[in-house]
Amino acid sequence: MNCVLLGGAGFMGSHLAERLLAAGHAVRVFDRCERGFADGAAICRDVEWLRGNFLDAADVAAAVAGCQGVFHLVSTTLPQSSNQDPARDVADNVIGTLHLLEACRRQGGCKIVFASSGGTVYGMPHARSITEDHPTHPITSYGISKLTIEKYLELYRVLHRLDYCVLRISNPFGERQRVASGQGAVTTFLHHACRGKPIEIWGDGSVVRDYLYVGDVAEAMVRALDYRGTHRVINIGSGVGRDLNELLGAIELVIGRPVERRHVPARTFDVPVNVLNIGLARAELGWAPATPFEEGLRRTLRWVASAPFVGTDPS
C-alpha cells in the first residue's frame, strides 16, 4: 500500500516507517519538521517527506492524497501538560483530526490506524487487567481528546463507511524517544542513570504501569492496517505491570550499578495502576510482544548513551 504517517518524523513514526518499508509498503511522512528522523536514521532516504501543518485542511488533504493506509500519530500535548491548556489540546488535536477525517471521506478507499492512549483513556481502573470494554473516564485533557477522536472515527464509519482501527497503546519506550519533554519514564530514567544524575520518583514509587518496547508497537500497527475483523478498538501493551521501584531495579541491573533516587510529590493525574489486557490483540491481530523487557532496556540504553539527539526530537 501507499501509506502516510501523520506526525511520523518522531519516536514512534521512525520505527513504524522501518517496519512498513520492510513489509514492502511505500511510506510518506507528514510532519511539521524538516526532512529527517530524530537520530538521522538511514531509512529517511527511502521515504517521501511532506512538510505541513496538521491544522491546515489543505496540507492534510495533500498528505493523504493517493494513500490507502493512514497512520494518525499526531499529538501536540502530553498528559502532564494538557490539563494546563485544554482549549489548545482540543484545538490542536481534535480539530486537526476532523480535517483528516474529511480528507479521507472525500478521497475514499483508505484505512486509518489511530494511536490512542491505553494509559489515559480509561482513567481510574476498576480491574487490575484492563480490557477494551472497561469504562472510560480519563482524568487528563490528553485522554479526553484521544477518546473524542475515537468517537469521531466511529461517527465517520457510521455516516461515511470510513474504515479505521484504534490501538490503545500503553507506555512505549525505546530508541529516539524524547528526553527533554519528560516523555517516557523508561527512557528518561535511563538517560539520567547512565549520566550519573539522580532519578526523580513521583510519590513512593508504587505507581504501576505497562511498559512496551516501541518495535512491538510498530508491529501491531502494521497488523492493524491489514486487519479486516469487526473489532475497532484494541489494547496494545505488555500485559505486565511494573511499579517505578521495580523499573529502577531493572535499570540498575542493566547498567550494572545502583542509581540515586530522589522522591518528589506524587502527580495528581497519575492513576495508581494501569495494566492492559492484550487478549484481544492476540486473538484478532495474532500479535503479542516479541521483545523481552530487559532486551528493550538494553537497546534503549545503547541509544541513550550515544545519541546526540535525545533532547531534540523534531516531533
- If one counts every other C-beta atom within 10 angstroms of the C-beta of residue 106, the result is 10
Neighbouring-strand partners of residue 51 = 31
* Number of residues that make up the chain: 315
Is-catalytic flag, 142?
A: yes
Angle between helices 244-255 and 185-194 (to 10 degrees): 40
Neighbouring-strand partners of residue 70 = 4, 112
H or E element in which residue 29 lies = strand 26-31
- If one counts every other C-beta atom within 10 angstroms of the C-beta of residue 155, the result is 12
How far from the centroid of its chain's Cα atoms is residue 118's Cα? 9
Determine contact, residues 240/293, Cβ cutoff 8 Å.
yes
Q: Which class for 140: exposed (0-12), middle (13-18), buried (19 or more C-beta within 10 A)? A: buried
Alpha-carbon distances of 236 from 43, 123, 139, 151, rounded to whole Å: 25, 16, 20, 19
Q: What's the rounded Cα separation, in Å, for the pair 201 and 206?
A: 9
Q: What's the rounded Cα separation, in Å, for the pair 208 and 127?
A: 13
Alpha-carbon distances of 264 from 171, 196, 201, 210, rounded to whole Å: 21, 18, 6, 21
Q: What's the rounded Cα separation, in Å, for the pair 241 and 26?
A: 36
Residues 122, 142, 156, 213: which is the catalytic one? 142
**Backbone angle region of 114, left / alpha / beta, with phi > 0 → left and psi within -120 to 50 → alpha:** beta
Write out the catalytic residue numbers: 142
